[in-house]
Amino acid sequence: MVAMAATKNSRARETVTVRRSPRYLHFFILGVAVGVIAAMILTAAFPSDGQYTVLQTFGFLLLFTATIGGALGLVLAIILERTVGKRTITAEATRETVGNPEA
């Protein structure tokens, strides 16, 4: 026979502060994607010379534009956090703990 163990349950009400924050990774990826698109546009806009191939030109531009785009995406996320993140709300939360006292 299996003995049923009594579980220890507890509830606690707390006041918590909720604030929205931007996802930095999403802003970074979006900035890098914009940088890749900018590198494609710049590669097509400039005529190629005999010294570098089109793929090399795209690679050089990609290094700069993707880096700058990612950095600008992070700066935008920080600015949004500073302006929008100031709005916080206070809410009531209930913490429930369900556990086995023998564990």
The 3-state secondary structure of 26-90, one letter per residue:
HHHHHHHHHHHHHHHHHHHHCCCCCCCCHHHHHHHHHHHHHHHHHHHHHHHHHHHHHHHCCCEEE
**What's phi and psi for 25, nearest 5 deg?**
-65, -40
Beta bridge partners of 9: 98
Domain assignment present for residue 6? The answer is: no
* Element containing residue 16 per DSSP (H, E): strand 8-19
In a domain, residue 102? The reply is no
Please give the residue that has the higher pLDDT: either 48 or 77. Answer: 77
Q: Is 5 a domain residue?
A: no
Domain extent at residue 68? 31-84
Report the distance separating Cα 95 and Cα 93, nearest Å: 6
Total domains, the chain: 1
User: pLDDT at position 83, please?
Assistant: 85
Q: Quick one: pLDDT band at residue 100, thresholds 50, 70, 90?
A: low
Identify whether 7 is part of a domain: no
Instruction: State yes or no: pLDDT of 1 exceeds 50.
Output: no
**Confidence (pLDDT) at 101:** 57
Q: Flag whether 78 is in a domain.
A: yes
Tens of pLDDT, residue by residue over 13-22, are 888 887 777 8
Residue 36: inside a domain, yes or no? yes
Q: With pLDDT > 70 as the criterion, what percentage of the chain qualifies?
A: 86
